[in-house]
A and B are shown apart, each in its own frame.
Chain A
Amino acid sequence: MKRLFTLLAAGALASACGSDNNGNVVNVDPNMSESAVSAAFSGAAANSTIQMAAGTYHFANTLNLSTQNGVVVKGAGIGQTILDWAGQTAGADGISQNVPPGGTVKVQFEGFTIQDTVGNGIKVTGGNGVHFSQVEVKWPTRQTHGGYGIYPVQSKNVLVENCKISGASDTGIYVGQSDTIVVRNNEIFENVAGIEIENSFNADVTANNSHNNTVGFLVFDLPDLQQVGGHNIRVYGNQFVNNNTANFGDPSGTVAKVPAGTGGAVMANTKVEVFNNTFTGNTTAGFAVISCFTGVDPAQDGACVTGNPNYNPFPSLIHVHGNTFSGTGTAPLMNNQNMSHPSFVLAYLLSTGLPPASGPHLFPDNHVSEVLWDGVVVLGNLQICSNNNTAEHFHNANLHLLSVDLDNPDLSQVMTFDDAAWDCTPTGFPLPAVPVPTF
Chain B
Amino acid sequence: MSKFVRGMIASGVLLFAACNQSPSNKSCTPRVPTDNSVPGTLADWCQVEISNGDVTPLASDVVPFSLTTPLYSDGAIKRRTVRLPPGAAATYTDAGVLGFPDGTVFTKSFGFRQDARDTTLPIQWIETRVEWKAAGSWSFMSYRWNDAGTEAVSLPGGEVVSFSYVDVDGAMQSPHYLVPSMLQCEQCHSEPGAIAPIGPKSQWLNTDYAYPEGTENQLAHWSHIGILTGAPDPANAPRLPVAADPDAGTVEQRARAYLEANCGFCHNPTGNARVSGLFLTATTTEPIQFGVCKKPVAAGPGAGGRKYDIVPGSPDASVITYRIEATSPATAMPQIGRSVVDTHGVALVNEWITELPGTCN
Contact = CB atoms under 8 A, between A and B. Distances in A.
Interface string A248-272: 0111111000000000000000000
B361 A301 contact: yes
B156 A39 contact: yes
Given A62-B336, A91-B329, A303-B295, A169 B157 contact: no
Given A10-B40, A98-B187, A119-B330, A250 B301 contact: yes
B299 A39 contact: no
B20 interface: no
B176 A125 contact: no
Contacts of B301: 144, 147, 169, 250
B275 A42 contact: no
B36 A17 contact: yes
Given A35-B158, A100-B194, A177-B275, A6 B296 contact: no
Contacts of A38: 156-158, 181
Interface in A54-72: 60-62, 64-67
A47 B211 CA distance: 48
Contacts of B35: 17
Given A101-B193, A118-B329, A226-B274, A35 B157 contact: yes
Interface string B293-307: 111111111111111
Given A119-B329, A224-B288, A252 B303 contact: yes
Contacts of A119: 300, 302, 329-330
How many B residues touch the partner, as a band? 35 or more
A92 interface: yes
Given A38-B158, A42-B156, A176-B298, A18 B36 contact: yes
Contact of B277 (A67, A169, A224): A224
Interface in B84-101: none
B155 interface: yes
A254 to B, nearest CB: 8
Given A35-B158, A39-B157, A62-B336, A91 B294 contact: no
A226 B176 contact: no
A102 interface: yes
A385 interface: no
Interface in A375-391: none
Interface residues of A, number: 65
B360 interface: yes
Contact of A148 (B156, B194, B269, B300): B300
Interface in A148-186: 148, 153-154, 169-170, 174, 176-177
B274 A43 contact: no
Contacts of B183: 41-42, 64-67, 98
Nearest to A35: B157
B241 to A, nearest CB: 29
B72 to A, nearest CB: 15
Contacts of B40: 6, 10
B184 interface: yes
A225 B275 CA distance: 7
B291 to A, nearest CB: 11
Contacts of B300: 119, 146-148, 169-170, 249-250, 253
B287 to A, nearest CB: 12
Given A169-B300, A225-B275, A226-B275, A35 B193 contact: no
Contacts of A61: 158-160, 178, 181, 184
A109 to B, nearest CB: 16
B24 interface: no
Contacts of B282: none
A9 B143 CA distance: 13
Given A91-B336, A169-B301, A252-B299, A100 B190 contact: yes
B296 to A, nearest CB: 6
Nearest to A177: B275
B153 interface: yes
A374 B91 CA distance: 59
Contact of B156 (A43, A89, A144, A169): A43
A38 B179 CA distance: 12
A179 to B, nearest CB: 14
Given A64-B181, A89-B329, A98-B272, A226 B277 contact: yes
A90 interface: yes
B339 A90 contact: yes
B181 A6 contact: no
Given A119-B329, A153-B275, A13 B193 contact: no
B21 interface: no
Nearest to B308: A252
B329 A9 contact: no
A402 B272 CA distance: 42
Contacts of B298: 147-148, 153, 170, 174, 176
Contact of B335 (A34, A92, A224): A92
Interface in B298-338: 298-307, 319, 328-331, 335-336
Given A61-B181, A98-B186, A118-B328, A89 B305 contact: no
B283 interface: no
B277 A42 contact: no
B38 interface: yes
Interface in A4-37: 6, 9-10, 12-14, 16-18, 33-37
Contact of B307 (A118, A176, A252): A252
A78 B313 CA distance: 49
Interface string B142-156: 000000000001111
A352 to B, nearest CB: 24
B270 interface: yes
A101 to B, nearest CB: 6
26 contacts: A6-B153, A9-B155, A13-B38, A17-B37, A35-B157, A37-B157, A42-B156, A42-B157, A42-B181, A43-B182, A60-B160, A61-B158, A61-B178, A101-B270, A102-B193, A144-B330, A147-B302, A154-B275, A249-B300, A250-B301, A251-B305, A252-B295, A252-B296, A252-B304, A253-B303, A254-B297
Given A89-B160, A253-B296, 13 more contacts: A9-B154, A9-B156, A35-B158, A61-B159, A91-B336, A92-B329, A146-B330, A224-B288, A226-B277, A250-B301, A250-B303, A252-B304, A252-B307
Interface of B: 35-38, 40, 153-160, 162, 176, 178, 181-184, 186-187, 190, 193-194, 269-270, 272, 274-275, 277, 288, 293-307, 319, 328-331, 335-336, 339, 360-361
